[in-house]
Amino acid sequence: MDEGLQESVVTISVYLIWSAGILFALNAVGFTATSMTVVLGALGIGLGFGLQAIFNNFMSGIILLFERPIQVGDDIEVNGIWAKVREINVRATIVQTYDNASLIIPNSDLISSQVTNWSFKDKRIRRNVEVGVAYGSDVALVRDTLMEVAEKTPRVLKLPKPDVIFKNFGDSSLTFLLRFWTRLEYFYAVESDVRFEIDRLFRERNIEIAFPQMDIHVRSGLNPPKNPENLVPSAE
């Protein structure tokens, strides 16, 4: 049984046991079906006035536990934040960011907002590293160098194969895109390794990494007027 399923089963079992225990205790102290109806009616009024958010989070938690679009151990992205799911409770879900901060997210946010689950079916992830080289560079050499970087960098997957895209003729550079696959848990480190190796090999092979620049061309051979006063409009 995987970690996410095990956590869901344990959580649901705990809440079922608590519910059964509460009902048994109420029955033991003399609560009848009529009394329970009154209590539920009062609870319904409370939900109508001030407990909508709590009830919404509770129902969202039940949906998360049964449908399991997000499981404990998954890597997700919410509002631009990458994090790993640590706990799914009926009111809120606790996630841990890559900076080791714990975030408590209301379950209703996970149901109503767009959430990217990078671990839903596959732990592999494709990453893109963009680099711009100066105009006049040997584009075939650039392509071969980028492919060499991908093939020799540890933890870059052999399959699917990496590839190089000649992306654009930019204002100041020829833009290339190196695309490769790696494992989700260390893609940041792999991207860094790839960039270090690109910089090293480009220096060795005299491939210039472009930077924004502006060329100014001065036209010569234009003679100024012999009578500058002619530039002033006549008052007539």
What is the per-residue pLDDT across 3-55, written as a single tens digit (0 to 9) for each?
545 555 565 566 567 666 666 676 676 666 666 666 666 666 665 555 677 77
Report whether 72 contacts 85 (CB < 8 A).
yes
User: How many angstroms separate the CA atoms of 44 and 143, rounded?
Assistant: 66
Report whether 172 contacts 132 (CB < 8 A).
yes
Q: Encoding tokens for residue 213? A: 């620049």
| Residue ranges per structural domain of the chain | 3-117, 124-204
pTM above 0.85, yes or no: no
Report whether 4 contacts 71 (CB < 8 A).
yes
Report CA torsion sign: 97, 69, 73, 127. Answer: negative
Fold of 124-204: Alpha-Beta Plaits (3.30.70)
**Topology agreement, domain 3-117 and domain 124-204:** no
What is the dotted CATH code of the domain comprising 3-117? 2.30.30.60
Q: Kindly report, residue by residue over 150-166, the tens digit of the pLDDT.
A: 999 999 999 999 999 99
